[in-house]
């Protein structure tokens, strides 16, 4: 087997500004040890997110010029709608400015006090949008998915038995819909199998609960199904994607991921009445139903991106480049969620820093150190992002303490990734010198974006 090369040539480049370690120590301190507060030009390799950070193709940029900016009935909308319909098979396609706008609209309508929404693992914005309506977001991830060190093919699967129990206990009338997030971002970018989606759908059907897909990384998930699930090896990605959506009654999507675009999203629905309610709310909050908070050019770029993302040589390179980083980290003894997920590597901070307890945010300590050592920006997914407090104000930590290194699509080459490897391995060797953090400021919701820390 020959080296899997980037399936593109580079036509336009963006320079990287280099900083010294001394500069980075000062920058991090000024940012309150929060990577969201660092200016992007002070970052050498930005692995904060794979969201909206894709390099667009020449054809997408051409689409930007070709976008039709008509307020109503733009031709770019119809191209976008056709492409989303082709993939999802859904009847009503509602553009939004990004994924959480779809969530906001959907849950404003179906949420509310006394309602419950199960998912394999809710992403933080999904959870926040549900909780904002007074409803509860419930994670029903399968047990294997909670153990970073166990290797399994589909660690994003929902626990179907727990789902059944949950429905019986809660009452189907209190569950307006069930969700599955593909791939499971908060649980390590792990895929969900077709069989699991089918089984969840059967349970939902039995209790008459609609199934929704959080489709942000549907193409990556489809590629994992092709590679790992029996019976899919010879199927084109588009066919796998269509089958996934055939089990769903609706989907929320952030086109900033597998749409290969810098902004955008959509809600795809089959229920006419719900679609009408969503469109009415869309008009108040996002815009007219044929642009939904986006410019015509964005719709054009998304439509093109949704074609390119189905290309198998792209997906092979994409999944392999993340796996390459994971493989080498494991070889160096760095604990990560295994096997590597689709869009990111997740360092297991509990095993990386066993002496720093969750109350001192071991993940955040690693994030700080990777920045200081190599100008690499990553993000904590652990007690900072998902921690809650009990009545006595003590931290209730989530099951895992992780650091996510999300790989932007088509942006970095193998030598960038080799540099990232060197920095992580060096930080791992010096891990005894890392210290925990304490929070000195936090907002009531989604605190990780704006919290400030001090080193203990
Ligand atoms: N669902 C999942 C699974 C996500 O990963 C995201 C965003 C959203 C919904 C919300 O989409 O950002 O367009 O509003 N994830 C980004 C990330 C922010 O870094 O993982 P959005």
Is residue 2 included in any domain, yes or no? Answer: no
- 298, 239: one domain: yes
**Mean pLDDT value across the chain:** 97
Asked, for residue 8, whether it belongs to a domain, the answer is no
Which residues contact ligand 1 via a Cβ below 6 A? 49, 51, 98-100, 123, 125-126, 181, 185, 214, 216, 254, 256, 265
pLDDT digits (tens, 9 = 90+) for 133-167: 999 999 999 999 999 899 999 999 999 999 999 99
Distance 2 CA to ligand 1 centre (A): 34
The CATH number given to whatever domain includes residue 41 is 3.90.1150.10
Nearest CA to ligand 1 atom 12: 99
Of the residues 277, 308, 339, the one at which a domain ends: 308
Last residue within a domain, chosen from 308, 340, 355: 308
What is the span of the domain harbouring residue 300?
A: 58-308
Residue 256 resides in a domain: yes
Domain count, the chain: 2
Residues in Cβ contact with 129 at an 8 Å cutoff, skipping those fewer than 6 apart: 100, 103, 104, 106, 107, 111
Burial of residue 392 (number of CB atoms within 10 Å: 0-12, 13-18, 19+): exposed
* Three state DSSP letters for 217-254: CHHHHHHHHHHHCCCCCCCCHHHHHHHHHHCCCEEEEE
Which of 50, 105, 123, when mutated, tests ligand 1's pocket best, judged by the most ligand atoms within 8 Å of its CB? 123
Q: List, for residues 68-86, the tens digit of each pLDDT value.
A: 999 999 999 999 999 999 9
Give the number of the atom of ligand 1 that is nearest the alpha carbon of residue 49: 19
Tell me if residue 58 falls in helix, strand or coil: helix
The helix/strand/coil state of 64 is: helix
The C-alpha R_g of the chain, in whole angstroms, comes to 21
- 256 CA closest ligand 1 atom index: 13
Tokens of 374: 């190599």
- Give SS3 for 153: coil
Strands 376-377 and 45-46, how do they pair?
Answer: parallel
- One domain for residues 84 and 140: yes
Asked whether the beta carbons of 64 and 219 are under 8 A apart, the reply is no
Flag whether 14 is in a domain.
no
Cα separation, 322 vs 345, in Å, equals 7
Helix, strand, or coil (residue 310): coil
What are the pLDDT tens digits along the chain (456 aa)? 889 999 999 999 999 999 999 999 999 999 999 999 999 999 999 999 999 999 999 999 999 999 999 999 999 999 999 999 999 999 999 999 999 999 999 999 999 999 999 999 999 899 999 999 999 999 999 999 999 899 999 999 999 999 999 999 999 999 999 999 999 998 899 999 999 999 999 999 999 999 999 999 999 999 999 999 999 999 999 999 999 999 999 999 999 999 999 999 999 999 999 999 999 999 999 999 999 999 999 999 999 999 999 999 999 999 999 999 999 999 999 999 999 999 999 999 999 999 999 999 999 999 999 999 999 999 999 999 989 999 999 999 998 899 999 999 999 999 999 999 999 999 999 999 999 999 999 998 888 999 999 999
Same domain, 336 and 215: no
* Residue 30: how many other CB atoms lie within 10 Å: 12
Same domain, 71 and 138: yes
What is the token pair recorded at 178? Answer: 């069930």
Pairing of strands 136-139, 395-396: unpaired
Q: Does the predicted TM-score (pTM) go above 0.85?
A: yes
Instruction: Say if residue 293 is in the same domain as residue 339.
Output: no
350 in the same domain as 303: no
- Check residue 42 and report its DSSP letter: G
């Amino acid at each position: 087997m020959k080296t899997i090369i980037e399936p593109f040539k580079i036509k336009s480049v963006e320079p990287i500004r280099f900083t010294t370690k001394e500069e980075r120590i000062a920058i991090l301190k000024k940012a309150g040890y929060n990577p969201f507060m660092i200016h992007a030009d002070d970052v050498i390799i930005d692995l904060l997110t794979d969201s909206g950070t894709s390099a667009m193709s020449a054809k997408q940029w051409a689409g930007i010029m070709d976008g039709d900016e008509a307020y109503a009935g733009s031709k770019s909308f119809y191209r976008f709608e056709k492409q989303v319909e082709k993939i999802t098979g859904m009847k009503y396609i509602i553009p939004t400015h990004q994924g959480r706008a779809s969530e906001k609209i959907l849950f404003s309508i179906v949420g509310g006090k006394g309602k419950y929404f199960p998912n394999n693992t809710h992403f933080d914005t999904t959870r926040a949008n549900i909780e904002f309506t007074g409803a509860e977001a419930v994670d029903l991830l399968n047990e294997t998915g909670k153990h970073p060190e166990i290797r399994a093919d589909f660690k994003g699967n929902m626990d179907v038995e727990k789902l059944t129990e949950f429905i019986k206990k809660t009452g189907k009338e209190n569950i307006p819909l069930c969700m599955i997030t593909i791939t499971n971002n908060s649980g390590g970018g792990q895929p969900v199998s077709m069989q699991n989606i089918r089984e969840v759908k059967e349970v939902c059907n039995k209790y008459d609960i609609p199934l929704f897909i959080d489709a942000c990384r549907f193409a990556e998930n489809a590629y994992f199904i092709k590679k790992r699930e029996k019976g899919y090896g010879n199927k084109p990605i588009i066919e796998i994607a269509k089958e996934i959506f055939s089990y769903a009654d609706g989907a929320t999507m952030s086109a900033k991921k597998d749409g290969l675009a810098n902004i955008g999203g959509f809600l795809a629905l089959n229920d006419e009445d719900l679609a009408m309610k969503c469109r009415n709310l869309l008009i108040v909050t996002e815009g007219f139903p044929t642009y939904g908070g986006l410019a015509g050019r964005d719709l054009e770029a998304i439509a093109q991106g949704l074609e390119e993302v189905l290309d198998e040589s792209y997906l092979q390179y994409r999944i392999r480049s993340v796996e390459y980083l994971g493989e080498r980290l494991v070889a160096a003894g760095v604990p990560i969620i295994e096997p590597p997920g689709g869009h990111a590597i997740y360092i297991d901070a509990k095993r990386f820093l066993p002496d720093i307890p969750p109350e001192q945010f071991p993940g955040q300590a690693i994030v700080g150190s990777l920045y200081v050592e190599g100008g690499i920006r990553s993000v904590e997914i652990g007690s900072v992002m998902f921690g809650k407090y009990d009545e006595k104000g003590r931290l209730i930590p989530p099951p895992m303490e992780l650091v996510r290194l999300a790989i932007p699509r088509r942006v970095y080459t193998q030598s960038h990734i080799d540099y990232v490897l060197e920095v992580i391995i060096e930080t791992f060797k010096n891990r005894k010198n890392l210290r925990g953090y304490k929070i000195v400021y936090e907002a009531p919701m989604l605190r990780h974006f704006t919290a400030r820390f001090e080193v203990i």
